[in-house]
Amino acid sequence: MTVSPEKPARKLSMKQRYTALTHDLDWTPTYVTEEEIFPFTTFEGIKVHDWSKWEDPFRLTVEAYNKYQAEKDRRLYAVLDGFAQSQGQLGLTEARYMNAMKIFLQGIPIHEYDAHRNFSYLARYANGPGARFAALCQSMDELRHAQTEIHTLSHYNKYFDGMHDWHKWSDRVWYLSVPKSFFEDAMTAGPFEWLIAIGFSFEYLLTNLLFVPFMSGAAFNGDLPTMTFGFSAQSDESRHMTLGLEAIKFMLEQDEDNLPIVQDWLDKWFWRGYRLIALVAGMMDYMLPKRVMSWKEAFELYFEEQMLNGLFKDLEYYGIKPPRHVQWAIDEKEILSHQVYWVLYQYSHAAAFTTTIPDEADQAWLQESYPETWPVFKAAVWDKAQRVQDAGGRYFNPGLPQLCTVCQIPMGFTEPGDPLTQCQRQSVYEGERYDFCSDGCQWIFDREPTKYRQSWLPVHQIYQGNCGGPTLPDVAAWYGLQPGDGAEYLGSPDHQNWLAWHGQAPKED
């Protein structure tokens, strides 16, 4: 053993390592102008004076990133493998639980990939090395999320319907146009708006509502793979939240002229994101056989308490106000999930998930969680749906819904304070009428009508003859739906298989 005559150099501190391996690797170009290298960071009107002020609080380097991401993947894939080997799908609470997962796994992986692409673009085109490196890490994270979700899905696809053509569906099916339009809206904005849209509004403000109660719900319903990829993704998400917060503060600190632009984007993307996760409200309250918390409770905990009473007090320092239509969202927390699931229930014959009338236990939980509003909805719609079913039928809406031009959700949301009268908003732009579900969506359209008049609205596309033909079977074939993917849960192949796997005969009724 040789002993070094001198003591080794002192290890660099975390801060020194971070600076040496990110900021200090940057150089000032001399052969070309900064504008030529970074041509996309000026047209949005955001003024930046000093890119070196962009710091990553995580102080992550390539080495640390690789080390910890590899460990996360190692843990995750051990769980996925063990679940598959031990036939873990048999231990779910019920087969109908999978419907919530189907919507998630059909709708989200492709947009994780979209996020990967756009953060790659930022990793190249942001002027500062701090921003570029944080974007590079997030870009790789998003690719990892797409992969882990697809791996989770691939196991379930062997046992359940509604999984086999997720990629095609995400591009074609009506309810999946909701996430698609959201992410494509963000991707077609400039880099700073993207950061406020995805980095800040989605990741910091809202993503907790999507992931945390939902993944805890997966844990509660025996869905180990979803819990594990969800929590594993969330560990990256904490870094993304930090990037989003760093992004908004960086813009606000660089120049006070940035404030009105940032506020406008925040107002827009809060509402876009909130409408997108309305789907989660329906899934949480109606599709999980065992529930961790209601949408209302999650909204109060993860949005009102953490964001309105925490974050926005912090941002007030810069002159930022809470999002423009936030009160509308607060007012909706008692009714949102009822309305969303009622949409899903009556159109599930044209979808890749199944639905059913809430059973006795579900109804008791709904009554307890929503004592004011559940009885109203039960009387207005569910009792009637039950009568249709008792007479040997099953209520499906025989037509096509009016869609909101911005969020693309069927216009079933109601006027504030009136849970049963749908909200109807219209704007006219260059002689053409456009429809909206809320003041929030109308405001977004009125700001940028030339963007949103391009909305690929599934119902309008069907009527233009772009979706395989005029009848439901034509459209279902074009979507790539197969028998069993959609419609009623009771008696569906998933339900029958579940009973057979557990040695029970199908119910006689």
Partner 1 sequence: MAVRANYDYDWPSRSAAELYGDDQLVHIWWKGNPFFVSAQTFRFPKAMPFGELVGLCKGFFAADPDFVPDAMDTVQWRIDKVDVTPDMSASLEANGVGHKSLVEFSI
Partner 2 sequence: MSVSAEPRPVGVDLQENEENRALVEAIEADNEDLNIRHMPGMIRLTKTGQLVINQASVESRLGRPWETHEFQLAIISYFGEFVEWDDDQIVIAWKH
**Interface positions with partner 2 (CB under 8 A):** 13-15, 57-60, 64, 67-68, 71-72, 75, 208, 211-213, 215-220, 227, 231, 234-235, 237-239, 241-242, 245, 292-293, 305-307, 309-311, 313-317
CB of 451 to partner 1, least distance (A): 5
> What does 208 interact with, of partner 2, partner 1, none (CB < 5 to 8 A by kind)?
partner 2
Residues of this chain, 241-300, that bind partner 1 according to CB under 8 A: none
Task: Pick what 309 binds: partner 1, partner 2, none; C-beta below 5 to 8 Å, kind-dependent.
Answer: partner 2
Q: How far is CA 214 from CA 131, 175, 227, 327, 361, in A?
A: 30, 19, 8, 24, 20
Residue 469 φ/ψ region, left for φ over 0, alpha for ψ in the -120 to 50 degree band, beta for the rest: left
The tokens for 488 are 């009623």
Residues 506 and 491: beta-carbon distance below 8 Å: yes
When asked if residue 469 is in the footprint of partner 1 (CB under 8 A), the reply is no
* Paired residues of 432 in beta bridges: 429
Q: Which stretch binds partner 1 (CB under 8 A): 78-86, 106-114, 189-197, 283-291?
A: 189-197
* HSE-up of residue 408 (Cα within 13 Å, Cβ side): 27
Sign, Cα dihedral of 456, 459, 462, 467: positive
For residue 60, give every residue at least 6 positions away whose Cβ sits within 8 Å of its Cβ, in sequence order, or none.
18, 133, 134, 137, 239
For the chain, the straight-line distance linking the first and the last C-alpha, in angstroms and rounded, comes to 80
Nearer to partner 2, 79 or 472 (CB): 79
Q: Nearest distance from residue 212's CB to partner 2, in Å?
A: 6
User: Which DSSP letter does residue 365 get?
Assistant: H
**CA gap 413, 84 in Å, rounded:** 40
How far, in Å, CA of 396 to CA of 149, rounded?
Answer: 31
Residue 463 in the binding site for partner 1 (CB under 8 A): yes
**Which token pair is 386?**
């039950």
Q: What is the dihedral of CA 113, 119, 124, 128, to 10 degrees?
A: -170
R_g of the chain, CA atoms, integer Å: 24
Nearer to partner 2, 126 or 241 (CB): 241
457 touches partner 1 (CB under 8 A) = yes
Task: Name which position in 22, 106, 207, 346 contacts partner 1 (CB under 8 A).
Answer: 346
Using CB under 8 A, which of 6, 432, 508, 509 touches partner 1?
Answer: 432
14 binds, among partner 2, partner 1, none (CB under 5 to 8 A by kind): partner 2
Rule CB under 8 A: choose which of 66, 87, 426, 471 binds partner 1.
Answer: 426
Quote the longest CA-to-CA distance of the chain.
Answer: 92
Judged by beta carbon distances under 5 to 8 A according to partner kind, the member of partner 2, partner 1, none in contact with residue 68 is partner 2
Pick one of partner 2, partner 1, none as the site partner of residue 402 (Cβ within 5 to 8 A by kind).
partner 1
Among 306, 402, 482, 496, contact with partner 1 (rule: CB under 8 A) = 402
- The item of partner 2, partner 1, none sharing an interface with residue 36, based on CB under 5 to 8 Å by kind, is none
DSSP state of 403: B
**Residue from 15, 67, 384, 507 in contact with partner 1 (CB under 8 A):** 384
Closest by Cα among 220, 231, 271 to 100 = 220
Rank residues 218 and 343 by Cβ distance to partner 1 and give the closer one.
343
| Residue 475 amino acid letter | V
The residue behind tokens 């009885």 is: 375
Residue with smaller CB distance to partner 1, 47 or 447: 447
Residue 496 found at the interface with partner 1 (CB under 8 A)? no
Other beta carbons within 10 Å of 187 = 16
Among 199, 213, 410, 486, binds partner 1 (CB under 8 A): 410
Residue closest to 208 by CA, chosen among 310, 289, 83: 310
In angstroms, what is the minimal distance from the CB of 119 to partner 2? 18
* Residues at the contact surface with partner 1, assessed by CB under 8 A: 39-40, 43-45, 189-190, 193, 339, 342-343, 346, 377, 380-381, 384, 387-388, 391, 395-403, 410-412, 414, 420-422, 424, 426, 432-435, 447-448, 450-451, 453-457, 459-461, 463-464
